[in-house]
Amino acid sequence: MKTILVTGGAGFIGSNYIRLVLQQHSDVQVLNLDALTYAGNLENLSAVERAPRYTFLKADICDAAALDAITASVDEIVHFAAESHVDRSIEDAATFLRTNVLGTQTLLDFARRRGVARFVHVSTDEVYGSLGPTDPAFSETTPLAPNSPYAASKAGSDLLARAAFHTHSMPVLITRCSNNYGPYQFPEKLIPLMIANAMEGKQLPVYGDGMNVRDWIHVEDHCRAVDLVRRDGRVGEVYNVGGRSERRNIDVVRTILRALGHGEELIRYVKDRLGHDRRYAINDEKIRAELGYATLHNFEDGLAATVAWYQQQRPWWERVRSGDYRGYYERMYGSRLAQP
Ligand code: NAD
Ligand code: TYD
């Protein structure tokens, strides 16, 4: 049985990844290490929380002693833990530097001490900066030019992962993915925020002119890409992951409103985000050609299914919005916390 340490597994993408790995590989056990910041919600993992091959450890990736206290063997690491929201990084960059930069280095050091066989660093396309309307999509060789404190901190961690490969010959692999959407996304990001606000009859704040473009990918497609890279990727390589679904924000918002049977009266154009990147687009030829990657979801069907999920799972996001989700950890684990 192989043990994969997944960091940030209580977040949006990490929780989807843990469910996928446990379902697809019967010879894998998962140790989910998460600090449970505001973005961590163990309820996202209620489907697997009692599974024998799943263990949760509440710990901070910046805490080297907590990492060293892990007694279980760690064969591979998939590193999702991060501060992930651009608007929060504009308000306060410090926690982004601590977790994304220092935390990643602390985790790399731990991985080196343990001699882990694979270290997948989950980076982002935002490290490449912003594109003009006719620029070619980002490829793996596009120079890094991050524009927000979030993107700059992710570029720092991305380069530290690269340096660990070159300096210490560590088996590091890096993925750079575009904007994810799907179940369990925290309702501060564009798509779940707009769905939840529309369902509550609240205004939908569209930044600037609403013409910024993002390349959307379903979270399950991203997770499958990360797992392909973990298993078959070449160490030291970077793999871009995209959805081939460039959409303007205002068009995404209108599609959501239509799916919910609303008109456009809730849309409010608000002051633009500072330094707002205009367009992201991903060239994903490398992962397709080398690893046989292909997406399973197209954007329109995936978005419709996501809207339906937020309708069916209304209590999930209502507990997030009210803050009630914060008590889930104590209710679930109480004093009988698993000690791996
Ligand atoms: P998220 O904010 O939903 O989840 C982050 C998780 O990390 C949370 O569970 C949080 O508790 C945990 N965490 C934060 N700081 C920690 C620390 N110091 N120690 C341990 N755990 C900590 O984020 P997400 O959207 O699931 O993104 C996951 C990863 O994927 C991030 O690295 C992000 O940069 C990257 N990414 C995200 C997207 C996207 O569209 N969401 C796209 C490309 C890449
Ligand atoms: P977001 O989901 O925060 O992802 P990112 O900034 O990492 O791409 O935002 C996606 C796009 O939607 C981005 O162009 C900013 C815009 N946006 C709004 O117009 N209104 C909002 O309330 C939010 C959260 C985002």
Distance CA 176, CA 174 (A): 7
Nearest CA among 258, 278, 275 for reference residue 266: 258
What is the secondary structure of 55-75 as a DSSP string? EEEE--TT-HHHHHT--S---
Angle at 15 between CA 10 and CA 206, to 5 degrees: 85
| pLDDT 10s digits, 204-229 | 999 999 999 999 999 999 999 999 99
Which residue among 249, 250, 253, 277 has the greatest number of ligand 2 atoms within 8 angstroms of its CB, and so is best to mutate? 249
The structure tokens listed for 189 are 């990001």
pLDDT band for 327, please (50, 70, 90 cuts): confident
Pairing of strands 213-218, 204-207: unpaired
Asked whether 84 lines ligand 2 (CB < 6 A), one says: no
Q: Which homologous superfamily is 2-181+218-244+279-296+323-333 in?
A: NAD(P)-binding Rossmann-like Domain (3.40.50.720)
Asked whether 214 lines ligand 2 (CB < 6 A), one says: yes
| Segments making up each domain of the chain, as ranges | 2-181+218-244+279-296+323-333
Q: What is the DSSP letter of 322?
A: H
Q: Give me the active site residues, please.
A: 125-126, 150
Which residue among 58, 80, 98 has the greatest number of ligand 1 atoms within 8 angstroms of its CB, and so is best to mutate? 80
Q: 213 has which bridge partners?
A: 248, 279
What is the secondary structure of 206-235 as a DSSP string? EETTS--EEEEEEHHHHHHHHHHHHHHPPT
The structure tokens listed for 61 are 């990736």
Distance CA 36, CA 26 (A): 27
The structure tokens listed for 279 are 């367009």
Task: Tell whether the model's pLDDT for residue 339 goes beyond 90.
Answer: no
Asked whether 55 lines ligand 2 (CB < 6 A), one says: no
| pLDDT 10s digits, 30-86 | 999 999 999 999 999 999 999 999 999 999 999 999 999 999 999 999 999 999 999
Report pLDDT for 184.
Answer: 98
Segments in the chain forming alpha helices (H): 12-24, 64-68, 86-91, 94-96, 104-114, 149-168, 190-199, 219-232, 249-259, 285-291, 299-312, 314-322, 328-333
